[in-house]
Every structure is written in structure tokens, then in C-alpha cells.
Amino acid sequence: MFNKKILGAFATAAYIGVSALFPAVAQADSKTVKITAIVEHPALDAVRKGVKDVLGENGYKVGENLNWEFQSAQGDVGIAGQIAKKFVGENPDVIVAIATPSAQAAVASARGTIPIVFSAVTDPVAAKLVKSWKASGGSVTGVSDMLPLEKHLQLITDALPNAKTIGVPYNPGETNAVVLVENFKKIAESKGINVVTASAPSSGDVLMAVRSLVGKVDAIYVTTDNTIVSAFESVVKVGIDAQIPVFAGDTGSVERGAAAALGFDYYDIGRQTGQIVLDVLKGKKAGDIDVQGVDKTNLHINLGTAKQMGLTFDEQMVKKAAKVVE
């Protein structure tokens, strides 16, 4: 009669041997998605949630058949590069890169070896992520959050008909921010409105940069510059203290104190990105998918902080708003 311990040892050895021969059998349908963002703030967090929800709704469950890892660069481009190299070394099925700096780091590290789907990137061509907005045949595609700048300027001038100068704090080291500021300047100046910029290379510089605009501008406009948005409370503080209305390029900033914003729902952008990720996981080549934009915008206003900034919206504008924060 065989000893039970010996039988157990044989069984274990046999199991290990089979596992070594067929290590991927149990996880044959498992996919690995690595996701990185330059910083964490409500808009970018909503993108990440949208991607994850779409994958979940289509059968990819974290802990079951989806290996999911998220890392934030905490606003540091150097850390974004480190995360990208780590992710590329782990050879996932897809890397999702949220915001321009993280997307640039991922593309530079992968060098065409891993599919990359970017999201919340303003101008992917200017950022040198893709050659054109059409399918380029490479390994990169995604969703752009190029802002409707003319509509944003119209929002500001509708709310402040006498505004002559608009202040824009931005990070000159962030490609998307530079593109937006340059385009906004051209549009504003064509309509006889001056734009004064204030440089904030890091979130710690935002308060001082915005304070430098006091006495020079009639309104402050914040684009989807991740550095500025990550420290948005500093912008709001200056707006209230100096009685300068603050307008934003993303609706998530209205909850945080912007007087108004005409923008996208970043959760919807995340879902749109998630659909592309899903297509890639199912075998479609990233380079065969056009870069996508977002057309739908919503007006959100914050009556409470607007009043603290010395601004009162007319009844017609309040009626137009998809969301009103009291």
C-alpha cells in the first residue's frame, strides 16, 4: 500500500510538471492592459473609469481574465518615462496612455512593439504620436480632446461682454497646453481681445502664476492643461480673492469652483477610448484605426463661486446649462 505522503508528492510533482509544460492554459483568454496618466485629477480619472467600464461590460473582468495595472506619474515627466519603460518591459497586450506627456513617453519607449491607445491628447500630430489623424498603419491610435476654443471664447464674452483681456495660466513644457494657448490667442486676437499668459511649469507654481495676472485681466481661462487643472483650487482662490471670473475647458472643474465651463464629459471620452482598446484586444491593429475626436459639449455653471467672483449669469445662460451647481 502506498504511503499517502508519497502519493501526494507525486501528485504535486505531476501538477508542477504539467503547469510548466502548459503555463498559459488556465489563462488562455486572459489579457493584460497597462494604463498610465501624467497626473490624477477628476477629468483624467473619469477617462480611466470609462475605459475600465467598457472592458468590464464586454467580458473583461479584473482578477478573472483581465490583468489591469494603473500608475500615475504625479505630474512628473521623468516618472512618466520610467512607468512607460516598466510597462513596455512587461509586454502587455495594450498600453493606455492618458494625456500627452504619458502618451509621448509610452510611444517613445514602445517603439512600435506594443499597441498604444492614447486618450485626452489635444493634438496627437503636433505631439508626434501619429503622422496624421487618419489610420497611419503604425501601432498607435486614440482619442483627442481638442477643445472647441471658439465656443469657449464665446462663452466668456457672453458672460462678460466688456471683457478685453483674458489671462491663461499654462505649463510651457506640456505640448497640448502650448498648442491650445497658441490657438486660443489667435482666435481671441482676431476678435480684438488680448490674451495674457502666465507660466507654471509645475503644480507648485500655479498659485504664483495666477496671482501675476491680477490687475491685468478681466477673466481667467484654464484649458485642459494637466498641470493647471491638478492645482485648480489655487486658480479658484485667486479668482475669488481678486474678483476675477474663472472659466474652464473641462466641466469637471466647475464642481471644483470654475464659474463656468463648456466641455466634454471625460467619462464619455474614456468609454470611447475603451471601445478602441476592446477592438485592439480582439485583434484589430491600432494603426488601422483613425484617431477620434469628440464633438458633443455640455455647459456647466457654478452659481455660488460665480457670485463670489463678482459674476452673475443671465437667466438664458442658466437655462442652457446641462448642469447648475448652486
Q: Which amino acid is at 313?
A: F
Instruction: Report pLDDT digits (tens) over 224-260.
Output: 999 999 999 999 999 999 999 999 999 989 999 999 9
Confidence of residue 2 (pLDDT cuts 50, 70, 90): very low
Answer yes or no: are the C-beta atoms of 180 and 157 closer than 8 Å: no
Q: Is the Cα torsion angle 155, 156, 161, 165 positive or negative in sign?
A: negative
Amino acid (one-letter) located at 164: K
Q: Is the pLDDT of residue 17 over 70?
A: no
251-299: per-residue pLDDT in tens? Answer: 989 999 999 999 888 999 999 999 999 999 999 999 999 999 987 789 9
Average model confidence (pLDDT) across the chain = 91
Q: pLDDT, tens digit, for every residue of 130-155?
A: 999 999 899 999 999 999 999 999 99
Q: How far apart are CA 307 and CA 254, in angstroms?
A: 13
Predicted confidence (pLDDT) at residue 32 exceeds the cutoff of 90: yes
Res. 210 pLDDT band, cuts 50 70 90: very high
Q: Give CA–CA dist 311/159, Å, rounded.
A: 8
Q: Which residues contact 229 (CB under 8 A, 6 or more apart)?
A: 41, 43, 222, 248, 250, 253
Contacts of 31 (CB under 8 A, 6+ apart): 60, 65, 66, 67, 93, 94, 281
Q: How many CB atoms lie within 10 A of CB 163?
A: 18
The whole-number pLDDT of residue 19 equals 36
Topology at the third CATH level for domain 31-145+265-288: Rossmann fold (3.40.50)
Cβ proximity of 138 and 287 under 8 Å:
yes
Residue 105 cell numbers, joined: 513617453
> Does the structure show a pLDDT above 60 at 129?
yes
Domain ranges for the chain, please list them.
31-145+265-288, 149-263+298-325
First to last CA, the chain: 81
CATH superfamily for domain 149-263+298-325: Response regulator (3.40.50.2300)
- Express each pLDDT in 80-107 by its tens digit: 999 999 999 999 999 999 999 999 999 9
Cell numbers placing 223: 484649458
The reply to whether 149-263+298-325 shares the fold of 31-145+265-288 is yes
Element (H, E) at 110: helix 100-110
Q: What's the pLDDT score for residue 294?
A: 87
Residues 41 and 211: their CA atoms lie apart, in Å, by 22
Cα angle 37, 57, 48 (rounded to 5 degrees) comes to 10
Asked if 29 contacts 58 with a C-beta cutoff of 8 angstroms, the reply is: no
- What pLDDT score was predicted for residue 196? 98
